[in-house]
Each structure stands twice: as C-alpha cells, then as structure tokens.
Amino acid sequence: GRYRFNLGVTYRRIGKLGKASAAEKSKRNAVKKGGLLKQLGLSYFQFEKWGDAIAAYTKAIEFEKEEKAAAKKTLGNYNNKGLALYHENDEEGAIKDFDEAIKLLKSNPDTKENPENYFNRGNVFMKKEDFSEAHKDYDLALGLDPNSAKYNHAKALCFQAQAEKEALSAEDRNL
C-alpha cells in the first residue's frame, strides 16, 4: 500500500526530472533529484530493503556531492547509507560512510556536529566487538549531548558487553 505509493510518487518525480531539457539540468536540478533519491532511499529503508536503500543513497550522494549548498543533505545521505550498510552487515562500509558524514560536518562551518553520527558509528564498533572504539564514539556523542538517555544507555551496554566478553574469555582460559 503506502510503500508502493511512496515509491510511485518518487519514481514519477525522478522521471520528470530525467526528461527535462538540457538547459534545465543545472546543479539545482541535480540537488533536487538528489533529494528525491534520498526520499526513495528512505522509503526503501522504512521497508527494510537495505540493498535498494544503499543504491538510492549512493546515487543521491553522487548528485549532491559537487554542490556545496547540498553538503548538509549529502552528509545525511552518508549517515542513512551507513545505517543501511549496518543492517546489511557491512560494518566496514558503514564505518566508512559514518566517517565521511563526520568529515563533512567538520569541514562545513555552517553545520554543527551531530551526535547521531558518533552514536551510529559506535553501534557498528559494538557489533564488531571493538569496545575501545565504541566507547570513544559514545563519549563523543555524550560530549555533544550529555543528557541523552540513548547515548548513556549505549555506553552502559558497551561496558556490559565488554565485561561479558572478558568473563567468557577468562572461562575459556580456565578450561
């Protein structure tokens, strides 16, 4: 129902942009098409179609990457693509995209750092059981939003997972 409707609307809008005259295919239209591709990615993400979401975000990034005014949108696409890659179990790809989002944030004076990027990257490190890196990212997220229950909870879960892994390792050594 709703998924097909959102997909149809997005494809229709992309199709109209694709048929525009050469004069109309300016940077503005590229940014507009990038925004539509982001919406397509969000629709796929909502319905857990990770591969399709990754493809849509990748195309959106390509369209918006060259336009400085679109930097904020592009970093959002990197973050969203990183989340989709995380769900596809591509941890290295997810880290790479979260790194790119963070790099874009730091290089653009018009944007302020977003703790979500650090939180999301920290979750990838947690999944990889790289607790040291996960702690660093959760600390960075907490530095930007110290009262966040979500970031504090993630940090506590990281301590718990680390302790459980160390306890299992100690048991294995004693066997």
Q: For residue 11, what pLDDT is reported?
A: 54
d(CA 133, CA 93): 16
Q: For residue 17, what pLDDT is reported?
A: 45
Q: For residue 152, what pLDDT is reported?
A: 97
pLDDT tens for the 175 residues of the chain, in order: 555 555 555 555 555 544 433 434 455 555 577 788 889 999 999 999 999 999 999 998 888 776 655 666 788 899 999 999 999 999 999 999 999 999 988 887 777 888 999 999 999 999 999 999 999 999 999 999 999 999 999 999 999 999 999 998 877 777 6
User: Is the distance from CB of 105 to CB of 74 less than 8 angstroms?
Assistant: no
Tell me which residue has tokens 């999301």: 120
d(CA 86, CA 61): 18
Q: For residue 22, what pLDDT is reported?
A: 44
- Collect all residues with Cβ–Cβ distance below 8 Å to 162 and sequence separation of at least 6: 131
